[in-house]
Chain A
Amino acid sequence: MAKITMTVNGRQVSGQCDDRTLLVHFIRENLGLTGTHVGCDTSQCGACVVHMDGRSMKSCSTLAAQAAGSDITTIEGLAANGELHPVQAAFKANHGLQCGFCTPGMVMTAVDMIRRHSGHLDEATVRAELEGNICRCTGYHNIVKSILAAAAEMGGARVAAE
C-alpha cells in the first residue's frame, strides 16, 4: 500500500491505495471526484485528462504514487467562484457537448492546448491536437468551434491585458 499526498484543486489531500492504483482511480474512488472519466483501457480516448503541474495528462497512464507531491487540477477545479472557465462557457455556447462523457477530458485538453499556443489556434491545429481525445456524439464540429471561440476570447483577453 502506498500513502500518497498531493494537491488537488487547490486542496492538499492524502490517501492510501494499492501500489498498482492508477491516478484516475485514486481521483475517482479515493477522492470521490467522479468528473474525470475512464473511456478505454489503452490510453486513447482522453476522457481521463487532468492537469498535473499545469500540463494536461492522461490520468489513466500514471500511477497514483507517481503523482505524489504534484499539483493536480480536475474538471471540478476549473470553474472559479461558480463562474464557468472561458473554455467551459465556449463549449456551452457552441453546443460542444452532447452526452457529456468525453467532455471533462476535452475541456482539460483544450485549456492546455490554448495555453501552449498562447491562444493562436486554427482549425487544422485544433483537429491535430485533439488526436488523443475521442468523442462519439458531436462529430467534433462543435468541439473545434468551441475551442477556437475560447482561444479567440482568451487570446483577445491576453492581448488586451498586454
Chain B
Amino acid sequence: MGVEGIGARVARKEDKRFLTGKGRYTDDMSVPGMKYAIFVRSPYAHAKIRSIDATAAKAMPGVVGVLDGKQLLADGIGNLICGWMIHSKDGSPMKMGAWRPLAHETVRYVGDAVAIVVADSIAEAKDAAEAVVVDYQELPVVTDATKALEQGQPQLHPEAPNNLIFDWQIGDPAATDKAIAAAAHVTEITIHNNRLSPNPMEPRATLGIYDGGDEHYTCYTTSQNPHVARLVMSAFYNVAPENKLRVIAPDVGGGFGSKIYIYPEEIVCLWASKRTGVPVKWTSDRTEAFLTDAHGRDHLSKVKMAFDANNRIIGLKVDTVANLGAYMSLFSSAVPTYLYATLLSGQYDIPAIHANVRTVYTNTAPVDAYRGAGRPEATYLLERTMETAARELGVSPAELRRINFIRSFPHQTPVIMNYDAGDYDASLDAAMQASDWNGFAARKAEAARRGMKRGIGMSCYIEACGIAPSAAVGSLGAGVGLWESAEVRVNAVGTIEVLTGSHSHGQGHETTFAQLVADRFGVPIDSVNIVHGDTDKVQMGMGTYGSRSGAVGMSAVVKALDKVEAKAKKIAAHLMEADESDIVIENGELKVAGTDKTVPWFQMALAAYTAHNLPPGMEPGLKEGAFYDPANFTFPAGCYICEVEVDPETGVTKIIQFVAADDFGNIINPMIVEGQVHGGLAQGIGQALLENVHYDPENGQLLTASYMDYAMPRADDLPSFKVSTSNTPCPNNPLGIKGCGEAGAIGSPPALINAITDAIGNNRLTMPATPQKVWAAAHAAN
C-alpha cells in the first residue's frame, strides 16, 4: 500500500471546495434570463380537480407563465413509471396506476403537483401560485396500507382494485408450513417498520434550459444517477430525445436513495422552459421535501420462526404489507420484494422460508428506496425475532445466533441469494469484545443502584450490494441493466482523468477513485481527476445507490486501468527495446525488471500522443473505456451491539455505547468507510428512537412536514461510535470489496430496540421508541 494507494487513510481531495464555500450545487447555478418556478400543490390527500383558473395569477407582477396538466398532456409528456416489473403469485402483472407529472383529473396525496408558476423572482412566483384557483371536490382518504386493502375503502386507481398493486411470494410455502407444524418451538411476532423521510440536507432542485436554436435541453438536477434520468426522461416521458438532452448533476448534497428517482419537477421545468422560452429553476423548500421526496420503509409484517429441539431454525414464514403511497415510484416495486425478502435468511442457515408481500396504494407520498431499501426491513424483522426467540428459549442471544450461523461458503439460501464469502463469528466476536459484553451484568447492577434500567442488544445483519448481474436482475423484472462504465484518459503530460458513471454526493469518489489510479501507476492522486455527473462528459452510467460505486463502479475503473496498463507497457517496451512482459510500473515509472532502464510515466504518455515512435500498427493516444457487469451481488455483513440506559421516570433512552463490527471485504480508504458507517448508524438510530412520518389518518394531512415536527437526529441525540472492520474479501470482483454505504442504517435499529426491550423487560415496543412509548411499555405488565 502506497501513502495514497488502496487502503490508505487519505484526506479528501474534494474537501477544500466544500470547506471554502466553493461547492456548486444545483440551486447555486444561474444562467442569463433564468426565471423561478413554484409548484401549485394539492392541499387535499384525495380529490377530483373540477377546474383550474390561472387568470388572476397570470396578471400578477413578474409572472412569465402558469402551466397546468392539461397542457402537459396535450404536449405528449408521458406518465411517470415504475421500472421494475413484479408479477403477483397468480401470474398477473403489477397494477400500475397513472402518475401524471401535473395532475389534471385527480390528486392522490397532499403535495401532488397540479400547476407550475414561472416568474421573475421566487417571491413573485409564490404570490402568483396563491392566486391560482383550483376547484377541488374532496374524496375520502386512506393512509394505512392494511386498512386500504379492506372492502369499502377509498379506491386510488381504477387499475388496482382494493388498492392492491401486487400479491407476491418467494420461497416454499408447503415446506415452510411443514417445518412450523413440526417445530419444537415457534416464535411469533408482529413487526412494524416505521415510515421515514430521507432528508438529505440539500433539498431537491432543478434548472431546465431549452435552447430553441439547437432544439436542445439541459437539465441541472440533484440526482444520484444523471444518465438514468436522461434515459427515463427520453424513453418514457417524451421530454426530449436522448441525444438532445444533457443532464448534469453537479455537487449533490446527500441523497440516501431519495435522489435516485425522476420526479415530476425535472420533467415539468424542462417542458416549461420550452413553453415559456426562458430557463426555469425550481428549488424545493423543506416542507415540499417532506411532502414530495419519496419516503422509505412503512411495512407491517407477521412473522413465525420455527425451531427444532436443538434451537436450530427450521422454518421462517413472513407475511408483509408494504405501503407504496399514492403512485409507484421508479424502483418502488423492487424494494419490498427482491431487495427485502431475498435477505430474510440473514446470517442463518434456514432450510425453509416463505414470504408473502402485498403492496398497497394509499393517499400518502410515494415510497421507494431509502438507505438500505428493503434490507433494513428484513434485518429489523429477523433480528427482533431472533432476540425474542432467544428470550423465549432461554438461550443467550449470541448463542442462538451462533447455533444458526452459516459457516460454509458459497451458501445458497432458499430465497435466491448465493452468499459468496463471510465470517459471521468474527464480527460477533469483535463486537462482543469491543462492547465488553461479559461485563454488562455488573454495569446493569450499578445502573440499577442509581434507579436506571440498563439493557444491551445485538443485531447480526447481512445485506446485498451491487444489485447485479444485469441478466439476473433482468430475469427478476428490472427494466435496466445494472452494470457500470468507466473511461481512463491519460493526457499527453501524464495526468489522468477518470470518467465514471458512478455519482458522488458525499461518498468521496474524487478521492477513492483516484486512490485506485495512484495504487496502480504510482502517480500522486493530485495528478488524477475524477469526472462524474454530466451526461455530456461521461459516456454512460447507472449511478450510485445500493452501495454499488465500489463494487461495480470501481470495478469498471479497474477494467479500464487494465487496458491502459497493457498499452502503456507496450509503449514503454518499444521505447526501451525490451519485452513488454518485463515491464513493471512503480512510483510513476515504467521499468524493465532487473535492469536500470526506466521511462517516466509522463514520457510514455507523451510518446503515446506524439506518435513518433510507437510499436508498428499501434493507434496513437492512451484512453480506454470499460463496462463492468458483476457476477453476483456482494454480501457485507456484521454485528452491532447497543447498550442503553432507560430512565423509568421519564422513559428517556440514553445510548451508553454503540459498537459496529463490519465485514466490508477489502477497503480503499478506511477513513471514508468509517464515515459511511457513522452516518448510517445515525440514520438507523434516528429511525429507532426519533423519526416517524405521520399522516393524519382522517384527512391524509402530513403532520410531520418540518424540522419542528419530524425529529431529525441532532448531535446530542447520539454518542460517539466504536467501529471496526474484519475482512473476508469478496471473490466476485477484482478489488474484493463489498460496499459500506448502507450497513449502518441496516444493522442499527434492531440492536437499539433489542437493548431497550432488554432494559424495560417488555418486548412490545414499536419504532420510534419515543420516551412516551418507552415509559408506557416499561410500566405495562409484560
How far in angstroms is the closest Cβ of chain A from B713? 8
Known contacts: A99-B254, A136-B199. The answer to whether A39 contacts B286 by CB under 8 A is yes
Classify the secondary structure of A's interface with B. loop
Residue interface mask A125-154, B partner, CB < 8 A = 1? 011101101111111111111000000000
Q: How many residues of A contact B (CB 8 A)?
A: 57
Interface with A: B8-16, B161-169, B304-312, which one? B8-16
Q: Which residues of A contact B672 (CB under 8 A)?
A: 95
Query: With A and B bound together, what is the CA distance between A37 and B456 in angstroms?
Result: 40
Query: Which B residue sits closest to A147, measured CB to CB?
Result: B715
Q: Which residues of B contact A136 (CB under 8 A)?
A: 199-201, 254, 256, 679, 682-683, 712
Classify the secondary structure of B's interface with A. loop
Interface with A: B20-28, B292-300, B547-555, which one? B20-28
Does any Cβ of B come within 8 Å of A100's Cβ? yes
Contact between A140 and B718, CB atoms less than 8 A apart: yes
How far in angstroms is the closest Cβ of chain B from A84? 6
Contact between B15 and A92, CB atoms less than 8 A apart: yes
Does any Cβ of B come within 8 Å of A59's Cβ? no
How far in angstroms is the closest Cβ of chain A from B497? 22
Contact between B15 and A140, CB atoms less than 8 A apart: no
Q: Which residues of A contact B287 (CB under 8 A)?
A: 41
Does any Cβ of A come within 8 Å of B508's Cβ? yes
Interface positions of A from 87 to 135, Cβ below 8 Å from B: 88, 91-93, 95, 97-104, 107, 123-124, 126-128, 130-131, 133-135
Known contacts: A101-B201, A130-B715, A136-B256. The answer to whether A42 contacts B679 by CB under 8 A is no
Contact between A91 and B15, CB atoms less than 8 A apart: yes
Contact between B19 and A144, CB atoms less than 8 A apart: no
Contact between B251 and A131, CB atoms less than 8 A apart: no
Query: Which B residue sits closest to A74, measured CB to CB?
Result: B21
Query: Which A residue sits closest to B677, measured CB to CB?
Result: A139
Contact between A39 and B506, CB atoms less than 8 A apart: no
Best-buried of A20, A142, A143 by chain B (most CB within 10 Å): A142
Q: Which residues of A contact B744 (CB under 8 A)?
A: 139
Query: With A and B bound together, what is the CA distance between A39 and B289 in angstroms?
Result: 10
How far in angstroms is the closest Cβ of chain B from A30? 12
Contact between B707 and A100, CB atoms less than 8 A apart: no
Does any Cβ of A come within 8 Å of B698's Cβ? no
Contact between A126 and B715, CB atoms less than 8 A apart: yes
Contact between B22 and A41, CB atoms less than 8 A apart: no
Does any Cβ of A come within 8 Å of B589's Cβ? no
Does any Cβ of A come within 8 Å of B618's Cβ? no
Contact between A18 and B707, CB atoms less than 8 A apart: no
**B15, B507, B706: which contacts A41 (Cβ < 8 A)?**
B706
Query: With A and B bound together, what is the CA distance between A36 and B721 in angstroms?
Result: 29
Interface positions of B from 262 to 293, Cβ below 8 Å from A: 283, 285-287
Contact between B706 and A40, CB atoms less than 8 A apart: yes
Query: With A and B bound together, what is the CA distance between A39 and B256 in angstroms?
Result: 16
Q: Which residues of A contact B707 (CB under 8 A)?
A: 40, 42, 44-45, 134
Q: Which residues of B contact A126 (CB under 8 A)?
A: 715
Contact between A141 and B253, CB atoms less than 8 A apart: no
Contact between A42 and B706, CB atoms less than 8 A apart: yes
Known contacts: A134-B714, A138-B678. The answer to whether A97 contacts B28 by CB under 8 A is no
Contact between A143 and B254, CB atoms less than 8 A apart: no
Does any Cβ of B come within 8 Å of A78's Cβ? yes
Contact between A34 and B256, CB atoms less than 8 A apart: no
Q: Which residues of A contact B11 (CB under 8 A)?
A: 92-93, 95
Contact between B254 and A75, CB atoms less than 8 A apart: no
Q: Which residues of B contact A95 (CB under 8 A)?
A: 11-12, 671-672, 674-675
Does any Cβ of B come within 8 Å of A33's Cβ? yes
Contact between A137 and B716, CB atoms less than 8 A apart: no
Q: Which residues of A contact B19 (CB under 8 A)?
A: 75, 79, 84, 88, 91-92, 97, 100, 103, 107
**B203, B675, B681: which contacts A98 (Cβ < 8 A)?**
B675
Does any Cβ of B come within 8 Å of A35's Cβ? yes
How far in angstroms is the closest Cβ of chain B from A158? 22
Query: With A and B bound together, what is the CA distance between A75 and B744 in angstroms?
Result: 31
Q: Which residues of A contact B201 (CB under 8 A)?
A: 37, 39, 45, 47, 99, 101-102, 134-137
Q: Which residues of B contact A47 (CB under 8 A)?
A: 201
How far in angstroms is the closest Cβ of chain A from B547? 14
How far in angstroms is the closest Cβ of chain A from B662? 14
Query: With A and B bound together, what is the CA distance between A136 and B713 in angstroms?
Result: 8
Query: With A and B bound together, what is the CA distance between A131 and B721 in angstroms?
Result: 19
Between A and B, 15 residue pairs with Cβ closer than 8 Å are: A37-B201, A38-B27, A39-B202, A42-B286, A42-B708, A44-B712, A95-B11, A99-B505, A101-B23, A101-B253, A102-B201, A104-B21, A124-B716, A127-B718, A139-B718
- If A103-B19, A138-B675 are given as contacts, then 4 extra A-B residue pairs at C-beta distance below 8 Å, sorted by A number, are A44-B708, A78-B20, A100-B17, A127-B715
**Could you tell me which A residues sit within 8 Å of B by CB distance?**
18, 20-21, 28, 33-42, 44-45, 47, 74-76, 78-79, 84, 88, 91-93, 95, 97-104, 107, 123-124, 126-128, 130-131, 133-145
